[in-house]
Amino acid sequence: MKKFPEGFLWGAATASYQVEGDIENNDWAQAARERRVPVCGRACDHYNRYEEDFDIAKSLRHNAHRFSVEWSRIEPEEGKFNEDAMLHYRKVLEALRVRNITPLITLWHFTLPLWFSESGGFERKDSPEIFARYCAYVVSKLGDLCTNFSTINEPSVYGSNGWLRGSWPPFKRFALTDRVSITNSGRTFESKAHKGMEPLFLYFRVMKNLARAHNFAYREIKKLSLETNVNFVHHVIVFDANGNPLNKLKAAIANHFWTHVFMKRTKGHYDSIGLNYYFYTKFGDRRAWRKTDMDWNFAPERIYDALMMLKRYKKPIYIAEAGLADATDSGRAEYITKQVDAAWRAIQDGVDVRSHIYWSLLDNYEWALGFEKRFGLVAVDYSTLLRTVRPSAQVYKAICEQNGLE
């Protein structure tokens, strides 16, 4: 039996805009009105059905749940906070508490209130202060019910999709990126992006501001409560290479820019690290990879490499997202099992891993790709909103129940 440490957190994640439904005053809803991304609409109606969804999570023996709170609901106008939105999220946290499910809250998962995005968003010089004020407000209202907060979800993905690839708001596109595209974030919409050199400079500015925003938020949250576990969630791509020295150099440079630069900029400002793992890519690779529905390499075991890349930062690591789109559910159980096995190996090799949170609890709105991709342990029929637990969820349930693998 490959046992995980006592108290290990098992569960699944969601994010506000992708599941809640009826959010209209953020940059994604605006982009949908402009027909630049698919309409999200009522999504999974999780805003009203969270109890039912947490019952399912409980029945699947999850002892943790990661979700995000929606900035545009909480601060609909600059500096004006909405108490009702906080009451809602308090109810959500209560619903988790009565089910003995530990919450992990993400304060910002990609979507921006319109007042912020329309005034420049993270290009704004004062964006770090604005972001820190918002984070501190949320923690001051929810901190008694939750002790794990992540400030930012995936800064590298946010910056590159918004300012290099131009596939996400604010659709700025740096011409050269077309050649080095790795992730599938929604090709259909990229052609409408404005294209030029300027996005590259803005991208650097945004990445700097995101790091400062996290650092400021970290300090503000710590003023409220020293015990709160604060991190950001990093999307780590494992760039690998064959024996060719040039390819090795390419991989080292890619890992440096994608993963390590942000870690360095936030040094001293995280109590742990959130890890999202989806990609393994090898320069000079000739292998014909089996693919997920996102057309990503089916490489669950390479989460080991991602964990090893973060080991040097000597902090506990929370696997905050890991999963695949698999509409037929034919590879999900194998994917999860291999991935959990790899996480177990990393623990044996000295990495302090504290959680494995599958992406996602439910099928949901996959950003610029709309509702077609199916990441859920639970299938959602978008016309009836009926939830159906997929067979692979039972395999994961056994892992959660036993706190390990046979």
- Summarize as ranges the residues that interact with ligand BGC (CB under 6 A): 15, 18, 153-154, 157, 235, 276, 321, 359, 366
Of 4 and 262, nearer to ligand BGC (C-beta) is 262
Q: How many CA atoms lie within 13 A of 38 on its CB side?
A: 19
Least separation in angstroms between CB 366 and ligand BGC: 5
Residue whose structure tokens are 């709105």 = 365
Please, what is the minimum distance in Å from the beta carbon of residue 275 to ligand BGC?
11
Please classify residue 145 by burial: count the beta carbons closer than 10 Å to its beta carbon, then call 0-12 exposed, 13-18 middle and 19+ buried.
middle
Minimum CB distance to ligand BGC smaller for 60 or for 157? 157
Q: Which two tokens stand for residue 191?
A: 């052609």
CA-CA distance, 2 to 332, in Å (whole number)?
A: 20
Query: What is the closest distance, in whole angstroms, from the C-beta atom of residue 206 to ligand BGC in the complex?
Result: 17
Nearer to ligand BGC (CB atom), residue 138 or residue 233: 233
Measured from the Cβ of residue 51, the count of other Cβ atoms closer than 10 Å reads 12
141 or 235: whose CB is closer to ligand BGC? 235
Question: Based on CB atoms, which residue is closest to ligand BGC, 141 or 364?
Answer: 364
Distance CA(177)–CA(180), nearest Å, equals: 5
Q: Which is nearer to ligand BGC, 193 or 325 (CB)?
A: 325
Exposure of 191 by Cβ count < 10 A (0-12 exposed, 13-18 middle, 19+ buried)?
Answer: exposed
Residues facing 67 on adjacent strands: 105
User: Closest approach of Cβ 395 to ligand BGC, in Å?
Assistant: 20
| Residue closer to ligand BGC (CB basis): 27 or 321 | 321
Nearer to ligand BGC, 153 or 231 (CB): 153
Distance in angstroms (rounded) separating the CA atoms of residues 366 and 339: 22
- Minimum CB distance to ligand BGC, residue 31 (Å): 15
Shortest approach of ligand BGC to residue 110 CB, angstroms? Answer: 7
In angstroms, the CA 371 to CA 382 distance is: 9
Tokens of 165: 């690839």
Provide, rounded to whole angstroms, the least separation between the CB of residue 17 and ligand BGC: 9
Shortest distance (Å) from residue 401 CB to ligand BGC: 26
